[in-house]
Amino acid sequence: MPYLNCPMFGGSYGTGGILLSWLLNISILVLIFLGIYFLLIKLGWIKSKFKS
C-alpha cells in the first residue's frame, strides 16, 4: 500500500498528500484498534476484567 509511505505520498502530491496520508494512517490504526477491541469483547476478556 503506497499511501502508507508518507514521504513518498507527500512528494507526489505536496502538502495535501502528506495530510491525506496522515488521515489514512490514523483511520487505519483506529479501525485496527476497534477491531481488536470488539474481538476482545466477543471473547469475553474485557467483560471478565470489568466484573473483577
Alpha carbon distance 16, 48 (integer Å): 45
pLDDT score recorded for residue 9: 47
Q: What are phi and psi of 2, to 5 degrees?
A: -65, -25
pLDDT tens profile 5-51? 555 544 555 666 677 778 888 999 999 999 998 888 888 876 677 76
Q: Side chain identity at 13, as an amino acid letter?
A: Y
Place of cell 474485557: 46
Q: Using alpha carbons, list the distances in angstroms from residue 51 to 3, 36, 37.
A: 42, 20, 17
Cell numbers placing 46: 474485557
